[in-house]
Structure 1
Amino acid sequence: MPEIEIKLERPRVEMLFARYQELIGKDYEGYRNHVYRTITYAMHFLDNAEEYEQIVETAFVYHDIGLWTDNELAYLEPSEAVALDDNESFNWGLDPDLLRGAIHWHHKITPYKGPNAKVIEACRKADWIDASKGMVRKGLSKETIQKVEAAFPNNGFHNTLLRLAKDYGGSTLVGGLKVTKGIVKW
């Protein structure tokens, strides 16, 4: 695979986040950098083809947004709903099935083989890399992951997930179980 391309600025991502930054609040920097890391990985898996950039950027801005918009640990469906609403309201013209699929299947444990598999699978692999803090590498080298993490530091993102699990679930254990039941797909 060629060297990973790291884009430090993504105007579409910033535009999409503008509506939600205040709502995300103190968690914004961590979530934003998680989004940038996952976009970077997914676009690498898609050979940085421009035709996929808008859908990948949009899917990742929205993929976990239900944590903040709905205060929900089973956040896939709320995240999908917000993304689809905004896609329609702002006339972005993104394929709603692809947008929904990229969000819905990003925690799938096994490879995704359905419609739009190329993009959805790239997004799925990208999120697993970042959610596991690089323990799951999906073919990328440790050095490549370290470069991406250096460009977009964690800023407490994984701690935020633990805190939200506790806040929304009553305890880290109960919240963790709710998250697992609500978002992990086979």
Structure 2
Amino acid sequence: MSEIAIQLERPRVEMLFSRYQEIIGNDYMGYRNHVYRTITYAMHFLNNAEEYEQIVETAFVYHDIGLWTDHELAYLEPSEAVALADNEQYEWGLDPELLRGAIHWHHKITPYTGPHAKVIEACRKADWIDASKGMVRKGLSKESIAKVEAAFPNHGFHDTLLRLAKDYGGSTLVGGIKVTKGIVKW
């Protein structure tokens, strides 16, 4: 596999985030950098093909957004709904089935083989790499992951997820169970 390409600025991502930065609040930098890391990994798996950039960027900006917009631990469906509504309202012209699928299946444990598998599988693998802090590498080298993490520091993103699980679930344990039941797919 080729060396990972790191793109430090993504105007579309910043434009999409501009509507939600206030809602995300103090968690913004952590979530933003998570989004940049996952986009970087997914685009690497897609050979940085420009044709996939808009859908990958959009899917990742919205993939966890329901945590903040809907205060939901089972956030996949709320995140999908926000993404699909914005796609329609702002007339982006993105394939709604692909946008929904990239969000819906990003926590799938086994490989995704349905419609739009190339993009959805790249997004799934990318999120697993970042969610596991690089313990799950999906074929990427430790060095590549370290480069991406250095370019886009964590800013407490994983701690934010634990805090939200506790805040929304009543305790970290109960929240963790609700998250797992609500977002993990087979």
Gaps of 5+ in 2: none
- 1:28 equivalent in structure 2: 28
Please list the CA deviations of residues 125-154 of structure 1 after superposition, one character each: whole Å capped at 9, or x if unmatched.
000000000000000000000000000000
Provide the secondary structure at the position in 2 that maps to 1:121: helix
Deviation, structure 1 residue 84: 0.0
Give every structure 1 segment of 4 or more consecutive aligned residues whose post-TM-superposition deviation is greater than 6 Å.
none
CA distance in 2 between partners of 1:5 and 1:95 (Å): 26
Deviation, structure 1 residue 81: 0.1
- 2:38 equivalent in structure 1: 38
Please list the CA deviations of residues 59-98 of structure 1 after superposition, one character each: whole Å capped at 9, or x if unmatched.
0000000000000000000000000000000000000000
Instruction: Compute the TM-score of the two structures, normalised by the length of structure 1.
Output: 1.00
1:98-137 residue pairs with structure 2 within 5 A? 98-137=98-137
CA distance in 2 between partners of 1:10 and 1:106 (Å): 21
CA distance in 2 between partners of 1:58 and 1:4 (Å): 20
- 1:15 equivalent in structure 2: 15
Alpha-carbon RMSD across the aligned residues, in angstroms, is 0.2
> Within the alignment, does 1:52 sit opposite 2:14 as a pair?
no
- 1:140 equivalent in structure 2: 140
- 2:94 equivalent in structure 1: 94
Provide the secondary structure at the position in 2 that maps to 1:8: coil
Deviation, structure 1 residue 57: 0.0
* Matched residues, number: 186
Deviation, structure 1 residue 24: 0.1
CA distance in 1 between partners of 2:47 and 2:8 (Å): 17
- 2:174 equivalent in structure 1: 174
- 1:77 equivalent in structure 2: 77
Please list the CA deviations of residues 100-122 of structure 1 after superposition, one character each: whole Å capped at 9, or x if unmatched.
00000000000000000000000
Gaps of 5+ in 1: none
CA distance in 2 between partners of 1:38 and 1:2 (Å): 17
- 2:64 equivalent in structure 1: 64
Amino acid in the other structure paired with 2:41:
Y
Amino acid in the other structure paired with 1:131:
A
CA distance in 1 between partners of 2:74 and 2:48 (Å): 31
Report % sequence identity: 89
